[in-house]
Amino acid sequence: MGVGIIGLGKYLPKKVVTNDDISHLVDTDRTWIIERTGIEQRHIATTETGTDMACRAAEEALGDIDRNSIGLVLVATVTPDDMVPVTSAQVKRRLGLEHAVAFDVNAACSGFMYGMWTAEAIIKNGMVPGAATMEVKRALVIGVERLSRITNWEERSSCILFGDGAGAAVLEYSPEEPGILSTYLKNYDDHKGVLTCGKGYKAIPFWEDKEAYQHLSLRGKAVFKFAVNSIEEVTLAALEKAGLSLNDIDWFVPHQANLRIMDAAARRLNQPLEKFQISINKSANVSSASIPMALYDLQKTGKIRKGDKVAVMGFGGGLCAAAAIIQW
């Protein structure tokens, strides 16, 4: 029995921040950023909240789909507007998804992949004859980020990398369609703290240590190496689970963190970069939102055809990584 993607949506904030704009904030230049990352610009939310962006992407993904048929809303984010209510609950209320159960998931830049895996499992579980759990036929999975709120705008090696935005997908139980063929997730322990972000809690008068930094902090080279290694590992594992080989894959849609990471992954997997969806140039790294946004771009540009096999690959803080093979 299959669970496939039947709708995709994307929202980018109106404000575009170019590399030149960033060079007015920190000691950098346009050429360095393009050559080292592939990023030409990013969108930054100046009036839109995370919930606004999530709702806009979700509305596009839903299109004419009956909103009463959505049984689950799952939002992946590391930058929720509020701790409570969670973003998924706010999306559910605003879009009038009367019959949906809503909760958020945080698996850093792999969040959308972990969300898709969870939604697929919940859908399939409810479809087993006599299942004790409730039936969910359709799920809305959203990745949304306002990374601009956790970016250290004074640190040139990281502030160039990130942007804001949202991507959404509607998953449906469709017994006749292959849909998601396999998923493989792996968590690696971040012993050295190469990718971290503090929290925004208030200082506690009884806590004995000093409060730590609040910004996103990364050790670029270490994260770069982890990304390339983990993409290879989880992609090969997901392919093996699906009984497929690399050459069976028509499109690779990796998390958009750095064009050089994608280039290195393509070489590791011995695949042409032309088979990789590249969206980083226009929207930078949008963490949980990167993958649904890139899937949207792949579909919108008309590259993907029915029956194509797509490998979707995520990696990020935690450290966590995931790959899924989807037949369109």
Ligand X SMILES: CC(C)(COP(=O)(O)OP(=O)(O)OC[C@H]1O[C@@H](n2cnc3c(N)ncnc32)[C@H](O)[C@@H]1OP(=O)(O)O)[C@@H](O)C(=O)NCCC(=O)NCCS
Among 6, 16, 65, 224, indicate the residue that binds ligand X (CB under 6 A).
Answer: 224
What's at 231, amino acid-wise? Answer: I
Give the interface segment with ligand X, choosing from 69-77, 131-139, 181-189, 214-222 (CB under 6 A). 214-222
At 66, is the secondary structure helix, strand, or coil? coil
Q: Is 197 a catalytic residue?
A: no
Among 109, 116, 144, 166, indicate the residue that binds ligand X (CB under 6 A).
Answer: 109
Q: Which is nearer to ligand X, 94 or 260 (CB)?
A: 260
Q: Which is nearer to ligand X, 91 or 253 (CB)?
A: 253
Which residues have C-beta within 8 Å of that of residue 65, sequence separation ≥ 6? 6, 7, 138, 170
As given in the structure block, the two tokens for residue 130 are 């006599």
Kindly compute the dihedral angle of the four CA atoms of residues 254, 255, 260, 261, in this order, to the nearest 10 degrees. -80
Give the interface segment with ligand X, choosing from 64-72, 218-226, 228-236, 297-305 (CB under 6 A). 218-226
Quote the CA–CA distance of 289 and 169 in Å, as a whole number: 11
Q: Which residue is it, tokens 């990471």? A: 261
Beta carbon of residue 120, minimum distance to ligand X (angstroms, whole number): 23
The number of residues that bind ligand X (CB under 6 A) is 19
Quote the CA–CA distance of 38 and 61 in Å, as a whole number: 28
Among 85, 126, 178, 220, indicate the residue that binds ligand X (CB under 6 A).
Answer: 220
Q: Does 36 bind ligand X (CB under 6 A)?
A: yes
Give the interface segment with ligand X, choosing from 92-100, 205-213, 219-227, 291-299 (CB under 6 A). 219-227
Q: Does 186 bind ligand X (CB under 6 A)?
A: no
Q: Which is nearer to ligand X, 188 or 224 (CB)?
A: 224
Among 235, 258, 277, 283, indicate the residue that binds ligand X (CB under 6 A).
Answer: 258
Q: Does 316 bind ligand X (CB under 6 A)?
A: yes
Helix, strand, coil fractions of the chain, as percent rounded to 5? 35, 25, 35
Quote the CA–CA distance of 98 and 9 in Å, as a whole number: 20
Among 49, 69, 125, 157, indicate the residue that binds ligand X (CB under 6 A).
Answer: 157
Q: Is 106 a catalytic residue?
A: no
Q: Is 109 a catalytic residue?
A: yes
Give the interface segment with ligand X, choosing from 32-40, 111-119, 196-204, 320-328 (CB under 6 A). 32-40
Q: Does 218 bind ligand X (CB under 6 A)?
A: yes
What's at 291, amino acid-wise? Answer: I
Q: Does 257 bind ligand X (CB under 6 A)?
A: yes
The 8-class DSSP code of residue 75 comes to: E
Can you point out the beta strands (E) in 123-218?
A: 138-146, 164-173, 179-187, 195-197, 216-218
Beta carbon of residue 160, minimum distance to ligand X (angstroms, whole number): 5
Q: Does 5 bind ligand X (CB under 6 A)?
A: no
The 8-class DSSP code of residue 148 comes to: G
Which residues have C-beta within 8 Å of that of residue 91, sequence separation ≥ 6? 51, 54, 55, 58, 73, 75, 97, 102, 140, 142
Beta carbon of residue 194, minimum distance to ligand X (angstroms, whole number): 9
Q: Pick the catalytic residue from 55, 109, 197, 320.
A: 109
C-beta of residue 328 within 8 angstroms of C-beta of residue 180:
no
Q: Which residues are catalytic?
A: 109, 255, 285
Return residues touching ligand X (CB under 6 A): 28, 32-33, 36-37, 109, 156-157, 160-161, 218, 220-221, 223-224, 257-258, 285, 316
